[in-house]
Structure 1
Amino acid sequence: MKHTLAAALAAVAVVAGGVFVAAPASALPAGTEVVGGEKAPSTTWAVQLEASGGTIPSGYVSNCTGEQINASWIVTARHCIDGIGAMNVYHSNSTTNRGTAVAVDRVSAAPAGDIALVHLRSTYTLSTYAPLDLTAAAKSSGTGVIQGYGLRANAQQSDGLYQATVSLTGATRDAYSGKAQHVTGVTGASNHGDSGGPLLVNGKVVAVCSTGDSADPGANTTAGSNYALLSQSSSWIRSTAGL
């Protein structure tokens, strides 16, 4: 299995011409996201993260998925915040009509694993927040559900949040050598742009999307990937986010 940052699943677009283009996730040409799967039901806490960074004229815009855990904090992958200059959050499940951006005023990397917390400049109250399991360990049997925004198989544009069923196939490592759950696609798989997206087991978020076993699984719905387990930084998540 590959655990390098080169296989990390953030969707990145290189921007030329001296400006950062706030392109919707569905417009980014960097690869696919949830390959196969199905349209996810309305999920208020599954948010879109758009970051910009770099120096003119070779800056970038990147898109990740996050899970809002209370009115002020969102959990995502650490590699989604590395080197960024600014970040906005969108609460729509649509990638073509994302609604109003909510600015981020600070980000924080977890002490272990490919995990980060993103703080909203203004509180944004939801009817429900992401249900977390901060005790889960890697499993070698059973199934889970992954979710994410962005392009789909063979660069097909996505119009919103998609999900897929995956098999839980043992312990592995994430992009920062942290503890991770390996998954193999059943009805679909993750790819570029799915970074920070949730792995749900028994209805709760146990891990966030970190890396893929290959740099580009194309249309392979049974591709494998590695999800950073939240349990390795559970105390930090609770204390930082005030859970």
Structure 2
Amino acid sequence: MNSEFHLFLFSVLCVLFSNISASGPSIYRNDSSKHLRIIDGTDADESEYPYVVLLIQTRQGWGRMCTASLISERWGITAAHCKNYFPYGLRVWTKDFNDFGKFRDNSVEIAEMITHPSYRLLIRMKGRHDIIVSNDVALFRLQKTVRLPRYARLSSVDRDTLMGRPAIYIGGGARRIDGFNPLQGALQKGEGVIVPCDTAMKRVSKYVICTASKCSKRAQRIYYGDSGGPLIMDGQVVGVCSYVMEHGTVTSSGYAPVSCYLDWIYSVIHSRDSGEPRTKRRRSRRKLFYKKIKLFYKKRKPYRHG
């Protein structure tokens, strides 16, 4: 198998490949690169992409786990496999990524994370490493609201109509794979072109947007920590970063197309958000009911015999 496959499932890989040293993070080879974020990328301007955030693990060690996009004051979208880190205390870091001293002031805890009901991850280890992932999309709800200049706009354009068009991808993975991974550092931006998915890419995921590096930037690619980051076209998010495959010097990246999940996204957010006010109204009605009963018995004249 001449292709090299990188799926950003660190918690899963730690179990499956615990005998591999920290200097060799990829499945098929030891990588001497010390960069875990977008390789050969450029610093992204936070003001240009204010909705791109980081998912930070805060229990059992600190680290940048995934990238995500906030789509409203309380909701964000990322890759479903990022939920592996949810039990370890995930917080959303929203801005000032170059200054970890401001992390507490600029971070919010995740209240819940909901993966797509058809999300599947299959790993087979018989002679070769076969990984199949489908519907790698998840929503997360924040403990409190986060106000941003603007939020991510999800594209409804069908993925099959995007072929040949340029796109931008943003990621915030850590910088090093050996020793301590610095938490602070700017988001990285890369450029690619949407291309037809080859057989190897389709074997991993059937419904996916595939991108390739531009000829002038062949070394540019996504890497660990960029999972869940947005693929952006015309100012709208068209995909969520899922996996990457390397064929020699050529790199192909796979993104879950958001247009396929818009109905599910709307239904989840609507059901959760509409449920909270109803609960508050029930409590208010209950309090009013007991208050009326109390007033009734208070005004009622005591019954006297004879």
Give the TM-score range, shorter chain. Answer: 0.7 to 0.9
Shift of 1:83: 6.0
Could you tell me which residue of structure 1 aligns to residue 41 of structure 2?
Answer: 37
Structure 1 vs Structure 2: percent identity of aligned residues?
23
Per-residue CA deviations over 1:41-100 (Å, capped at 9, x if unaligned) read 2221100002467xx8xx885510000000000000000013630311110151542522
The alignment of Structure 1 onto Structure 2 pairs a total of residues equal to 219
Could you tell me which residue of structure 2 aligns to residue 145 of structure 1?
Answer: 168
Q: Which amino acid aligns with 1:67?
A: S
Quote the Cα distance in structure 2 between the aligned partners of 1:104 and 1:71: 12
More helix by proportion, 1 or 2?
2
Aligned-residue RMSD, C-alpha: 3.6
Q: Tell me if the contact between 2:239 and 2:258 (Cα under 8 Å) persists in the aligned partners.
A: yes
More strand by proportion, 1 or 2?
1
Q: Which amino acid aligns with 1:145?
A: I
Query: Which stretch has the larger CA shift, 201-210 or 150-159?
Result: 150-159
Shift of 1:174: 8.9
Q: Are 2:55 and 1:49 equivalent residues in the alignment?
A: yes
Structure 1 130/226 Cα, relative in aligned 2: closer, same or farther at 3 Å? same
Could you tell me which residue of structure 1 aligns to residue 111 of structure 2?
Answer: 105
Could you tell me which residue of structure 2 aligns to residue 71 of structure 1?
Answer: 73
TM value normalised by structure 2: 0.61
TM value normalised by structure 1: 0.76
Gap regions ≥5 residues in structure 2? 15-32, 119-134, 274-306
Q: Tell me if the contact between 1:75 and 1:117 (Cα under 8 Å) persists in the aligned partners.
A: yes
Q: Are 2:240 and 1:208 equivalent residues in the alignment?
A: yes
Q: Which of the pair has the greater relative contact order for Cα pairs under 8 Å at 6+ separation?
A: 1
Could you tell me which residue of structure 2 aligns to residue 184 of structure 1?
Answer: 212
Shift of 1:207: 0.5
Runs of 4 or more, structure 1, over 6 Å off, are 1-4, 153-158
Quote the Cα distance in structure 2 between the aligned partners of 1:181 and 1:68: 21
Q: Which amino acid aligns with 1:237?
A: I
Gap regions ≥5 residues in structure 1? 15-28
Q: Are 2:227 and 1:227 equivalent residues in the alignment?
A: no
Query: Which stretch has the larger CA shift, 199-208 or 79-88?
Result: 79-88
Shift of 1:124: 1.2
